[in-house]
Structure 1
Amino acid sequence: MTRSESAPSYPFTALVGAQELTTALVLSAIAPEIGGVLVRGEKGTAKSTAVRALASVLPEQQVAQGCRFGCDPERSEDCPDEPHSGPATTRPARLVELPVGATEDRVVGSLDLRRALGEGEAAYQPGLLADAHRGILYVDEVNLLHDHLVDVLLDAAAMGRNTVERDGVSISHPARVTLVGTMNPEEGELRPQLLDRFGLTVHIAASRDPHERAEVVRRRLDSDADPAGFAARFAESEAELTQRLADAREAVRHVRLDERTLRTIARVCAGFDVDGMRADIVTARTAAAHAAWQGRDHVTRADIRAAALLSLPHRRRRAPFDAPGLDEDLLDALLDDEPEDDPPGGGDSPGDEGGGGPEQETPPQDQPEQSPEEDAHEEDGSGSTNGPRPKSEDSAAEGSTDPSTRAEDTPSSESEDAPEAPSGGMPTPVGTASAQQPYRARRLELAGVGSGPSGRRSPALTPRGRTVGVHPAGIEPAGAPVHLTATLRASAARRAGGLGPARVTGTDLRHAVTRGREANLVLLAVDASGSMAARKRMSEVKTAVLSLLLDAYQRRDRVGLITFRGAGAEVALPPTSSVDAAAARLAEMPHGGRTPLAEGLSEVARVVARERVRDRNQRALVVIVTDGRATAGTHALARAQRIADAWGTAASAMETVVVDCESGRFRMGLAADLAGRMGAEHIPLEQVAASGLVEIVTDRTSPRRSAA
């Protein structure tokens, strides 16, 4: 929907703090070709307020009269409404909001049903992309956007045009939009392809300064009490900002980017090991916009630094679960690699590097590209952890404990006879294991055709997807799209039989059966007791879980983790698709103590039952990692066996795998017996290894099989 002009929005100049956010929005408004802004941050940090306030200070636009797409009258944009006639008109800059639950035809446009059914004409009805041309397309909670809409945005952002081939309509129109998205990382990550399409990214957090927080509350209350009066207080500053933006838009065309500046930008981007060339282009455009905003006609070191802090954090190559950010020490070192007071002519000379002048006596400083990265985890202005994770960090930690040392450290953690707490509760944690670098997991695809929530995993009948049939007459499934062709065919057949009126009626309506993919729940139940607590083994399990989470957020799956040790079981990781939250919780997972197997199985059943209440159609796969021992409480093994025998009734909604971690020459076969009682598939650990655990989960393409 387009921003309403009736009620005044919160003034942009009334925002308190959030300097990095306001700068990014302003630079994107000065040079829309930067590619927009992604605002990441915790809830309640005025992300949406800032974006909506920006529209009120943008300069007005000249548009071609009568053009449905709001084209610029001074340039040809290959518009379907050309040639434009009549004098140009003026309109406010547009902020168009794209709801997370929008349908594809509303976004890209579709057949005008009123004209098609009433006049028999296949006319095109523009969608939100047409409304947002030359304006801002705002997506709140962009990380929750459905995949089919993400694909549409990717196409429009890449081409600057929207092409529609559907329902008898074939049309292409300009769609140059400034994409602005806000998101809370705790609710899930953004697809890498869409993340890269945002020119700039900002992480925002609430201020911890009591005076600043009090001023935020004061202004919010004043605005709510008297919106018009509050807006009037900032009218003058808003007008000044609008004029400054208009001047900067004109000035940015004349900002100089000389050879030395371009080399510096390229050196910075290469130093942070970014993928592709988009980072260099966006950084150059942002630096030019920053210079114009500051009233300069040339780019300086300060402009490049400000641009890099906004354009590179989400593009640098990093581990999947590292927090986005930039090592500012490394950035300064890369910027200082070539002194700023070099003669302009020296940087432009093709033979500059071999000239042997005074500046060449200092060799290129490659060291900063290595040492600051190894001193990672710096903090930016918002307090978030930055810097690429050292590749040697995990290996160094593991390398400090060789196999012989591990053997000496392990017995105390593996012992089932470790003393319990005096109260009989959970013993003191023996230790925690760290996960290694996660690896790419092959896709999990459950058997059959489900009907769960839309995702990118298993085949399912979903409200969106490829049309594979038509629902019978009189059936109107919730969310199912109208099958236009079948509807018109039913109406024609009825009229041919001389039944009813000549127009289309409600009885003619037909809905499409669409087949797509669903999201699944992968629930891992891990025995974290003393017998399972060998450091390397727990590290492998954690690495597998993190790898599944990485695959899950890319494919919109949900993954949960249950651990059982000591005297009970706990949900260490509630079902989620947020890799950041998952990585933090898994890093703290302890191990050691006795084995409460019965409690672990009971907790698994409760979590699955609870998730089924939340979404009855979501299918689950349970992976139980254990050696089958049960040592906590009275009659521990018998209780676990009774629960396993009753598993069949609960297992109808899920597939189950038991990974047997029993080791040693003499084995009791308890895990195999557990799998047999549960009707689950039994996999010995020697056939699994660290990567094998993921292969078991992701290779589940057939229904649950009983153990032999």
Structure 2
Amino acid sequence: MDDMALALSLCAVSPAIGGVLVRGEKGTAKSTTVRALTALLPAVDVIEGCRFSCAPDAVDPQCPDGPHPAPVSARTRPARLVELPVGASEDRVLGALHLERALSEGVTAYDPGLLAAAHRGLLYVDEVNLLPDHLVDVLLDAAAMGRATVERESVSVTHAARFVLVGTMNPEEGELRPQLLDRFGLTVEVAASRDPQVRAEVMRRRLAYEADPAGFAARYAEADAALGARVADARKLLPTVRLTDEMVTRIAALCAAADVDGVRADLVIARTALAHAAWSGRTEVVNGDVRVAARLALPHRRRRNPFDPPEQDQADLDRALDDAGLDDTPPGEPDPPAGGPPPDGPPDPDGPDDPVDGPDGPGDGPDGPDGPDGPGDAPQQPDGPAGQAGEPPAGAAPEQQQRDPEGAGAPPQPRPAPAGAPYRARVLRVPGTGAGVAGRRSAAMTTTGRQVGSQRPVGGAAGRPHLVATLSAAAPHQRARGRRGPGILLRPSDVRLPVRQGRESNLILFCLDASGSMGARARVGAVKAAVLSLLLDAYQRRDKVGLVTFRAAAAELALPPTSSVEVAAARLAALPTGGRTPLAEGLLRAREVLRVERVRDPRRRPLLVVVTDGRATAGADALARARHVAGLLAAEGTPAVVVDCEQGRMRMRLAADLAGRLGAEHLPLESVAADALTDAVRSRTTSRAAGTVRSGSEAS
């Protein structure tokens, strides 16, 4: 949480850093902290009547509301917090043509969007990983350039848009793509403390706030005012902070040693180091400023592949700092603190935030929570003779030493087989045309794509109107409406919205056979590689994914449907195999998951991908039960694909039979790769061409 507070403060000092992305588990006060930042931002002076918040002493010459008459009339208002909802349209973000004035008055009027409202304030996007990619691009471009450009029907507008961009996200719901992750200046990871003392203090403060919000705020008013003054002082000091050429060279060496792509990281570290020096009250950047900046700006830029974790190993970061000559602070240079108020800042009204950090706190004593008898202690391995707790008896068999630590005598768990390298998979699509969330897989009527018609707004739908269709609907009624002269009289019933045909994202539910019938470890590795390749394809096509596995005597929902394809890949890598084949149970569990998802997300069409060799060996009539469940899924119209993992010369073709009963496409394992399909088409085309040439030769 200290890193989060520091990153937000530095971006408040210098919005040119490019914003902060806060990643963390649910319930860690991410949104609360971001909203609290607004009260610490200095008030802004704006020109009266300017919708774009122009400063009286620095008027934007390209302001759409300009030119402003001199002398200007100014007023002071608090800095704004503008929240961007996940479902916002591009017109709502950028602004658009004021259609009613354009058609009724014949003037070109621009209606500003959220970026104009956020100028000189804070723009907050909760669950930024769920925001459509094109909107994320728009936000990050504006944050980096400090301006927003709008090109719409006969409207070309550019205006200032300098704001503190903050995004929060829960990684369990999906990651940002590496190219978008790189556009955020800083990234911090937050997690709830596991210390009972800290958690108890959080509860006390939250309950105190709920009991008396005004009184609680008054207790911290002095500390808040001091922190706000520190932000304002740092902003004034920032233009005078000096970054020496030697320090620039060290930053470049650091980024080269960290092996990051491009030079955005170099610029972000330089800007962050300047802001940190101003935050610390100094006029020259020192090694410690660069170290703090690197810790916040580098980790998420090491992510190269979609399934790489978006963080950097601390040892790698320390090694890069050492290689760049930033291993320690040279003599005479103070090493600035990582964050928090200055040493002479105002004290906390309730004392230190973390009561266990003090020299006499309960966490430092021999009987505290972290002492030898505390609950936070890890079990100690005794040094006594064999047979004591935590130590296997001498001469124990290796498999006995691998049993569970509870000593229950359970058999050792099978080690998961490693997955092979992923490859480009063929595209699996849901048949028909849907109406789901815009994506890149199946055909659908969506908000993006090729325009195929128009319609009246249904159910309060909004968006950019279809201009020609709206005019066509209004034109026949102009005489009845009494129009005299130029312009067109519009009614709300005239508005038409475009109908577009594009691609949608789907729910890809994998039902994976993890039983012993899948065979040797090499075969399991090939199966995992195929599923991993399909997961990579789902990642690129913006799909939700889920994973049902079945082995031994039961089926398990290894991963509930989620947008976090990375979690699915991690679960797949750790998946063990072995035991009997409860195929019917696996299909039943998949059917139940799909039933729940139809209620939870009715617009998203599913695709069931069954990865199996078709055998069913769990219980009496196992194969008949599996065929019965497959018939139920087919009767419900569930789109499905069966990836046939059976190999060898003698094949029972059970997976092909299962595909027939499901009404599904039958796909042999070796045909999952897109190259295999291309090679098959190429070889068939070549053989046909050769046959044609041979027939022609025989005829001649």
Q: 1:306 to 1:691 in 2, by over 3 A?
A: farther
Supply the AA of the counterpart residue of 1:203: E
Structure 2 counterpart of 1:56, from 32, 39, 50: 39
For the pair 1:666 / 2:650, whether they are aligned, the reply is yes
Gaps of 5+ in 1: 1-17, 345-425, 697-708
Deviation string for 1:45-88 (max 9, x for gaps)? 11111111111111222334432211233264522233323334
**Helix, strand or coil: the match of 1:516?**
strand
| Whole-Å separation in 2 of the counterparts to 1:683 and 1:71 | 61
Structure 1 counterpart of 2:198, from 212, 217, 221: 212
| Whole-Å separation in 1 of the counterparts to 2:329 and 2:411 | 64
| Whole-Å separation in 1 of the counterparts to 2:505 and 2:9 | 38
Task: Give the drift of 1:98.
Answer: 1.0
| Whole-Å separation in 1 of the counterparts to 2:411 and 2:562 | 28
Q: 1:218 to 1:599 in 2, by over 3 A?
A: closer
| Whole-Å separation in 2 of the counterparts to 1:681 and 1:329 | 48
Q: 1:104 to 1:331 in 2, by over 3 A?
A: closer
| Whole-Å separation in 2 of the counterparts to 1:505 and 1:342 | 72
Task: Give the drift of 1:28.
Answer: 0.7
Which residue in the other structure is 1:32 paired with? 15
Q: 1:694 to 1:33 in 2, by over 3 A?
A: farther
Gaps of 5+ in 2: 333-409, 681-700
Task: Give the drift of 1:205.
Answer: 0.5
Which residue in the other structure is 1:333 paired with? 319
For the pair 1:157 / 2:163, whether they are aligned, the reply is no
Deviation string for 1:611-658 (max 9, x for gaps)? 3333344323222222222221112223333444555323x341x322
- 1:196–1:314 CA contact under 8 A, matched in 2: yes
Task: Give the drift of 1:511.
Answer: 3.1
Task: Give the drift of 1:99.
Answer: 1.4
Deviation string for 1:593-625 (max 9, x for gaps)? 112222223333333333333334432322222
Deviation string for 1:228-262 (max 9, x for gaps)? 22222222222222222122112222222222212
Which residue in the other structure is 1:242 paired with? 228
Q: 1:126 to 1:76 in 2, by over 3 A?
A: closer
| Whole-Å separation in 2 of the counterparts to 1:310 and 1:193 | 17
Structure 2 counterpart of 1:251, from 234, 237, 248: 237
**Helix, strand or coil: the match of 2:470?**
helix
Which residue in the other structure is 2:446 paired with? 462
- 1:430–1:592 CA contact under 8 A, matched in 2: yes
Structure 1 counterpart of 2:418, from 421, 428, 434: 434
Deviation string for 1:68-122 (max 9, x for gaps)? 2112332645222333233344332222111112232221112334534553433
| Whole-Å separation in 2 of the counterparts to 1:469 and 1:536 | 52
| Whole-Å separation in 1 of the counterparts to 2:510 and 2:546 | 6
| Whole-Å separation in 1 of the counterparts to 2:152 and 2:425 | 35
- 1:188–1:578 CA contact under 8 A, matched in 2: yes
- 1:533–1:591 CA contact under 8 A, matched in 2: no
For the pair 1:479 / 2:461, whether they are aligned, the reply is yes
Deviation string for 1:334-361 (max 9, x for gaps)? 33343767799xxxxxxxxxxxxxxxxx
**Helix, strand or coil: the match of 2:311?**
coil
Matches within 5 A, 1:108-257: 108-113=94-99, 115-116=101-102, 119-257=105-243
Q: 61-70 or 122-131: which moved more?
A: 61-70
Which residue in the other structure is 2:400 paired with? none
| Whole-Å separation in 2 of the counterparts to 1:538 and 1:139 | 42
Paired-residue identity, %: 61
Q: 597-606 or 205-214: which moved more?
A: 597-606
| Whole-Å separation in 1 of the counterparts to 2:230 and 2:306 | 40
Which residue in the other structure is 1:359 paired with? none
Q: 95-104 or 544-553: which moved more?
A: 544-553
- 2:474–2:490 CA contact under 8 A, matched in 1: yes
Task: Give the drift of 1:686.
Answer: 4.5
Deviation string for 1:536-558 (max 9, x for gaps)? 22233333333433443443201
**Helix, strand or coil: the match of 1:570?**
strand
Supply the AA of the counterpart residue of 1:44: G
Matches within 5 A, 1:548-627: 548-627=534-613
Q: 1:521 to 1:128 in 2, by over 3 A?
A: same
Which residue in the other structure is 2:24 paired with? 41
Matches within 5 A, 1:300-379: 300-337=286-323, 338=325
| Whole-Å separation in 2 of the counterparts to 1:309 and 1:220 | 30
Which residue in the other structure is 2:6 paired with? 23
Deviation string for 1:634-687 (max 9, x for gaps)? 12223333444555323x341x32222222332222222333333333333454
Supply the AA of the counterpart residue of 1:451: A
Which residue in the other structure is 1:536 paired with? 522
Deviation string for 1:477-523 (max 9, x for gaps)? 55354434423332221224679998433443433313332111222
Deviation string for 1:379-408 (max 9, x for gaps)? xxxxxxxxxxxxxxxxxxxxxxxxxxxxxx
| Whole-Å separation in 2 of the counterparts to 1:43 and 1:132 | 26
| Whole-Å separation in 2 of the counterparts to 1:533 and 1:564 | 15
Which residue in the other structure is 2:374 paired with? none
| Whole-Å separation in 1 of the counterparts to 2:679 and 2:258 | 33
- 1:63–1:71 CA contact under 8 A, matched in 2: yes
Task: Give the drift of 1:461.
Answer: 0.7
- 2:299–2:311 CA contact under 8 A, matched in 1: yes
Q: 1:81 to 1:505 in 2, by over 3 A?
A: closer
Supply the AA of the counterpart residue of 1:673: D
Q: 1:336 to 1:77 in 2, by over 3 A?
A: farther
Task: Give the drift of 1:184.
Answer: 0.9
For the pair 1:679 / 2:663, whether they are aligned, the reply is yes
Structure 2 counterpart of 1:490, from 456, 467, 473: 473
Supply the AA of the counterpart residue of 2:23: R
Q: 1:28 to 1:647 in 2, by over 3 A?
A: closer
TM-score normalised by L of structure 1: 0.77
Q: What root-mean-square deviation, in Å, do the aligned CA atoms of Structure 1 and Structure 2 show?
A: 3.1
Task: Give the drift of 1:585.
Answer: 2.6
Structure 2 counterpart of 1:269, from 242, 255, 258: 255
Paired positions, count: 594
TM-score normalised by L of structure 2: 0.78
| Whole-Å separation in 1 of the counterparts to 2:679 and 2:597 | 24
Supply the AA of the counterpart residue of 1:28: C
Q: 1:311 to 1:303 in 2, by over 3 A?
A: same
- 1:133–1:175 CA contact under 8 A, matched in 2: yes
- 2:17–2:272 CA contact under 8 A, matched in 1: yes
Matches within 5 A, 1:502-513: 503-513=489-499
Q: 521-530 or 576-585: which moved more?
A: 576-585
